[in-house]
Chains A and B, each alone.
Chain A
Amino acid sequence: MPRNAAVEAHHFEALGTSCSLFGVGVSRTDLVRGEFWVRKLGGRVTRFSDRSELAALNRADGEWADVSPDMEALLREALRAYELSGGLVNAAVLPSMLAIGYTRPLAEGTPIASVAVVHPAPRLVDVLAVRRGRARLERGCGLDLGGVAKGWMADRLAAQLGSNSLANLGGDLYAAGQGPGGGGWPVGFGGKTVMLRDQGAATSSVRKRRWGALHHLIDPRTGLPSNSGLEEVSVVAATACDAEIVAKTALLLGPGVATAFCAAHAQAWRFGR
């Protein structure tokens, strides 16, 4: 068991947020390659670039579109998130996001607060079909893979970096292996330190990415920004993606049901109101 083994760290900005990679027995070159992987895949799954794979699927106008294996896996993960969350984590909320003015990355300027006509999001399982190497989105629908993409990428990146590594992509993180001291990776969680070992963590919040009275976290049941009574939920779960799904679901459920949901699906949680 290693005792305070040397940790290699690498920090960078990508996916519109701050990212950090850590590894024991991992070279800096490996971490930089991890950054390249994040940038490359991030460029393919963003809705903000017309050249991305996701944008191509969004504008396929109901036709089948070719998708890469990574995109296919991510779309399947979005469908799994929909099922696990009872429909609350719904990637088909893009029309609502556009309707409230979230049409470009916040780094390019604050959206103009507006609420055009909004509708509840369609059921993702009704509008998205995924086959091997292909996907089809119903005409008039749009996908935003958002936090699910970050969690999914953190899980895969940590696996790529090695058996003792941690990938943190904008607060969605996965800690693989026994960490530098042998007892797991020390991770800040709601003001405390938890030792994560082959576990993920994520935070879903309406305190960031907000403009005026609006924010980016859409409740698919209304098509409007969430007003559940919870402003922030942090979760530890088996993977970063699971943590992201559980955190967002709990936030949308509100304080009445969130505790029971987290007790069933999370290993640790914290609510902010």
Chain B
Amino acid sequence: MRSVILKAGATVLTLGTTLASALYVTAHLKNPSAPLQPAVLVSQPGDTVGGVTITPGVRQSDVQPVTSTYAS
């Protein structure tokens, strides 16, 4: 008799958990507009002026250069 009660209790608990899970999932639908990954806010390919392309990581200036890169 005791084992039957335990089996019935386990069955009820399982079914109850399953039902509760189904209700919870139904009530908490995934936001379909949620991004899958961080969005790219702005594409910054860099400015090309006079054949020179400079990305935002490099700052231009009108200061007299102390040296330069050159072919050697």
- Residue numbers of A with Cβ under 8 A of B are 7, 9, 16-18, 20, 22, 166, 168, 170-173, 180-181, 183-196, 199, 201-205, 207-208, 232, 234, 236, 243, 259, 262-263, 266-272
Bound-state Cα–Cα, A270 to B54, Å:
9
CB neighbours of B32 from chain A (8 A)? none
A184 touches B46 (CB 8 A): no
A236 to B58, CA, bound (A): 8
Q: Return 21 A-B CB contacts under 8 Å, by A number.
A: A170-B72, A172-B69, A173-B69, A180-B66, A184-B59, A186-B63, A187-B65, A187-B69, A189-B69, A191-B52, A192-B49, A194-B59, A195-B63, A202-B69, A207-B71, A263-B45, A266-B55, A267-B58, A269-B52, A270-B52, A270-B53
Which residues in B have their C-beta under 8 angstroms from that of A16?
72
Known: A171-B71, A203-B71. A268 touches B63 (CB 8 A): no
Quick one: CB contact mask for B40-56 with A, threshold 8 Å, 1 for yes?
Answer: 00000110011111110
Given contacts A183-B61, A190-B50, A270-B52, contact A234 B69 (CB under 8 A): yes
Q: Determine the chain A residues whose CB is within 8 A of the CB of B33 once the complex forms.
A: none
Set A166, A196, A208, A263: member contacting B58, Cβ < 8 A: A196
Q: How far is the CA of A171 from the CA of B65 in the complex (A)?
A: 13
Instruction: Judge whether B67 and A192 touch: CB under 8 Å.
Output: no
> Is the CB of B35 closer than 8 A to any CB of chain A?
no
Give Cα distance in the complex from A188 to B67, angstroms: 6
Chain A residues, CB < 8 A from B62: 193
What residues of A have a CB within 8 angstroms of the CB of B51 in the complex? 190, 270-272
Binding site for A on B (CB under 8 A): 45-46, 49-55, 57-72
* Cβ–Cβ < 8 Å partners of A271 in chain B: 51
Assuming the contacts A193-B64, A195-B60, A263-B45, asked whether A268 and B69 have C-beta atoms less than 8 A apart, the reply is no
CB-nearest residue of chain A relative to B50?
Answer: A191
Question: Which of A180, A188, A259 is B69 in contact with, Cβ under 8 Å?
Answer: A188
Contacts of B52 in A (CB 8 A): 189-192, 268-270
A192-B50, A271-B51 given; A166·B66 CB < 8 A? yes
Given contacts A17-B72, A192-B50, 19 further A-B contacts (CB under 8 A): A18-B72, A22-B66, A170-B70, A171-B68, A171-B70, A172-B69, A180-B66, A186-B61, A188-B65, A188-B68, A189-B69, A193-B64, A203-B72, A204-B71, A207-B71, A259-B53, A263-B45, A268-B46, A269-B53
